[in-house]
Chain A
């Protein structure tokens, strides 16, 4: 018999949350670093190689601003933190920390993907739209699992505690 009554799917979902939190966390750092490099390029204080300098100039020419990258970075940061905290919440079957923080993390992750498609030039994204659509699958899947499949587990646990 299992030691506790947590469904195996919840454990799997929390592991996936961890993977995606790390993935979006890495991209968030990249967004912040790129925004500072772009600012350095704009005010002429940065030292770049010829190819990298041309690359940043092309991004500026395509209308990308450091503020866009910083807003995306903040969305990514929110997604990372909320997804990481929700791992613990899902494992504890906590309605607030698991279900609702997971939901906010999922929405932030979806916003991060959608606004990346809308704001970033193709040369920055380095991928087709389908790869971004693939990234969109996880937030939708996470929210569906938290609010449809595991809803009762969270609510029952709240009543019992």
Chain B
């Protein structure tokens, strides 16, 4: 009896989520994502909560730091003098004024502690997401168990279903993390009101929602490419860490090489928290484009694989 492919994909997604929670890698992924996410939030909140620093002082210092980080991410830090003081002055009066305003939008116009937490998550999540997807295909290929599924379903359904399952699990974890931080901030930090936190929390979730898609797809691509799960994990994390390091160091030698950053969403992912909704939609579209590319490559690889 033939079933609709969408039902097969949904079934594989459900099975993938159930299996993931029962596997060692899945438990490690869920546990590490939540613990590291809450630790990042704790790192942000502690100085304010223990009154080691005032909200205004943190706003001022974090606006400068975020401005410098944005200048680096947009490959505009190397213009002008090299020291960070000149970067600060360029953000106040020079060619980086837009970045200074962007940083102020994140920490002054919106709940600062949530913005900083989400920015940190945006850096750390790409390293954690491969943990949730590296065994999705390679685990079954290594043990040659995937062949038992093939008489009843298609390779494309397996891959797409497991990709969807990984995504839903990652989104659920991110939603849990952001909700926990929003609830905690609204109760414990009087300067962060629930009326501001809820819409900004929604926007932050959307940003991480789109950021997750290409990195999970990259994990699936590595999982479909390498039959040994640990090699797939190393490849996914290696690419995620290596590309920004490589591009930023090569940029010193020849500036156009900095554009290697765009091989992964590192080059534009910060635009997901841009004040301009146009930039947000553009960055979301790029995320989907990257994901489509990785997923197509993974499909091609998996359909031709000797299972």
Interface of A toward B, CB cutoff 8 Å: 1, 7-9, 11-13, 16, 122, 127-131, 133-134, 137-138, 141, 145, 149-150
- What are 9 A-B contacts defined by CB distance under 8 Å? A8-B23, A9-B23, A12-B27, A128-B49, A130-B41, A130-B49, A133-B180, A141-B31, A141-B34
State the CA gap A1–B148 with chains docked (Å).
Answer: 14
- Asked if B89 CB lies within 8 Å of chain A CBs, one says no
Q: How far is the CB of B135 from chain A (nearest CB, A)?
A: 9
Contact A149 B22, beta carbon cutoff 8 Å = yes
Contact A9 B21, beta carbon cutoff 8 Å = yes
With a cutoff of 8 Å between Cβ atoms, the chain B residues found around residue A11 in the complex are 24
Q: How far is the CB of A132 from chain B (nearest CB, A)?
A: 9
Contact B23 A7, beta carbon cutoff 8 Å = yes
State the CA gap A114–B50 with chains docked (Å).
Answer: 19
State the CA gap A12–B27 with chains docked (Å).
Answer: 7
State the CA gap A122–B21 with chains docked (Å).
Answer: 36
Contact A16 B23, beta carbon cutoff 8 Å = no
Given contacts A128-B42, A137-B34, 8 further A-B contacts (CB under 8 A): A7-B22, A12-B31, A128-B46, A128-B50, A129-B49, A130-B42, A130-B46, A134-B42
The residue on A at minimum CB distance from B49 is A128
The secondary structure that dominates the B interface is helix
State the CA gap A145–B20 with chains docked (Å).
Answer: 12
With a cutoff of 8 Å between Cβ atoms, the chain A residues found around residue B24 in the complex are 8-9, 11-12
- Asked if B246 CB lies within 8 Å of chain A CBs, one says no
Contact A130 B38, beta carbon cutoff 8 Å = yes
- Asked if B26 CB lies within 8 Å of chain A CBs, one says yes
Contact A16 B46, beta carbon cutoff 8 Å = no
Contact B23 A137, beta carbon cutoff 8 Å = no
Number of B residues with CB within 8 Å of any CB on chain A: 25
With a cutoff of 8 Å between Cβ atoms, the chain A residues found around residue B181 in the complex are 130
Contact count A vs B, C-beta below 8 Å: 64
Q: How far is the CB of B229 from chain A (nearest CB, A)?
A: 11
The residue on B at minimum CB distance from A150 is B22
With a cutoff of 8 Å between Cβ atoms, the chain A residues found around residue B50 in the complex are 122, 128
With a cutoff of 8 Å between Cβ atoms, the chain B residues found around residue A16 in the complex are 27, 31
State the CA gap A103–B39 with chains docked (Å).
Answer: 25
Interfacial residues of chain B within 50-98, with CB under 8 A of chain A in the complex:
50
Q: How far is the CB of A2 from chain B (nearest CB, A)?
A: 9
Q: How far is the CB of B231 from chain A (nearest CB, A)?
A: 18
- Asked if B188 CB lies within 8 Å of chain A CBs, one says yes
With a cutoff of 8 Å between Cβ atoms, the chain B residues found around residue A145 in the complex are 21, 27
A129/B35 contact (C-beta < 8 A), A12-B28, A149-B22 known: no
Q: How far is the CB of B112 from chain A (nearest CB, A)?
A: 15
Contact B22 A131, beta carbon cutoff 8 Å = no
With a cutoff of 8 Å between Cβ atoms, the chain B residues found around residue A9 in the complex are 21-24, 26-27
- Asked if B119 CB lies within 8 Å of chain A CBs, one says no
With a cutoff of 8 Å between Cβ atoms, the chain B residues found around residue A127 in the complex are 42, 46
- Asked if B184 CB lies within 8 Å of chain A CBs, one says yes
With a cutoff of 8 Å between Cβ atoms, the chain B residues found around residue A149 in the complex are 21-22
- Asked if B260 CB lies within 8 Å of chain A CBs, one says no
Contact B25 A137, beta carbon cutoff 8 Å = no
With a cutoff of 8 Å between Cβ atoms, the chain B residues found around residue A128 in the complex are 42, 45-46, 49-50
Q: Nearest 4 pairs between A and B by C-beta?
A: A8-B24, A134-B38, A12-B27, A12-B24
State the CA gap A9–B46 with chains docked (Å).
Answer: 32
- Asked if B143 CB lies within 8 Å of chain A CBs, one says yes
The residue on B at minimum CB distance from A11 is B24
State the CA gap A130–B48 with chains docked (Å).
Answer: 12
